[in-house]
Amino acid sequence: MKYCPSCGNPVTLKIPAGDDRQRYVCEHCDTIHYQNPRIITGCLPVYEDRVLLCKRAIEPRYGLWTLPAGFMENGETTEQGALRESWEEARAKIEIHGLYTLFNLPQINQVYLFYRGALTSLEFGPGIESLQVELFTEQQIPWDELAFPVVGKTLKHFFSDRQEDQYPIRSEDLVRRR
């Protein structure tokens, strides 16, 4: 950040009084600009023994497979965001069965939340951000073509948990080691 979105003057990176972290501060209007992690919310859509995946039509990771997910919007809950992303990317209608995985990625300032859900209809297809949308059994998953590690981890948890028909909420910190 170079300029204050409130008044347009240059900002300075410093620790404001009463804080313990560097923030962008406008010396002109005294506004402190907090930059917080982005929340990515999505769904693990299931139909019988298959899961719905989308082939990305956008960067990053164009042409690789993912679960329908994206950045949460202001004014929505994480569950509403997961349902919206499932519709936008896969034209899929989902019945949510609860929060399933949560991943913290502090090195890129992101938090991923995936809800487990059931397709309520087999009417689905690619949205504007997807090249293709398909149902896959565990054996058919294109494991080497998954867009993000959190997607692979969520799928592995699901197929393992499905054997016991128990789906605990799973939380993991994915911290990249230097």
pLDDT score for 32: 95
What residue ranges of the chain are covered by domains with CATH 3.90.79.10? 38-173
What residue ranges of the chain are covered by domains with CATH 2.20.70.10? 1-35
38-173 is classed in which CATH architecture? Answer: Alpha-Beta Complex (3.90)
CB atoms within 10 A of CB 134: 16
Name every residue whose Cβ is closer than 8 Å to that of residue 178 and which is 6 or more positions away in sequence: none
Class of CATH domain 1-35: mainly beta
Q: How confident is the model at residue 30 (pLDDT cuts 50, 70, 90)?
A: very high
The amino acid that residue 94 corresponds to is I
| CB 23 within 8 Å of CB 14 | yes
Of how many residues is the chain composed? 178
Share of the chain above pLDDT 90, in %: 97
| Tokens describing residue 41 | 């919310």
- Angular region, 18: left φ>0, alpha ψ -120 to 50, beta rest: left
pTM of the model: 0.90
pLDDT score for 176: 85
Buried b / exposed e along 38-51 (16+ C-beta atoms within 10 A): eebbbbbbbeeebb
| CB 118 within 8 Å of CB 46 | yes
Q: How confident is the model at residue 178 (pLDDT cuts 50, 70, 90)?
A: low
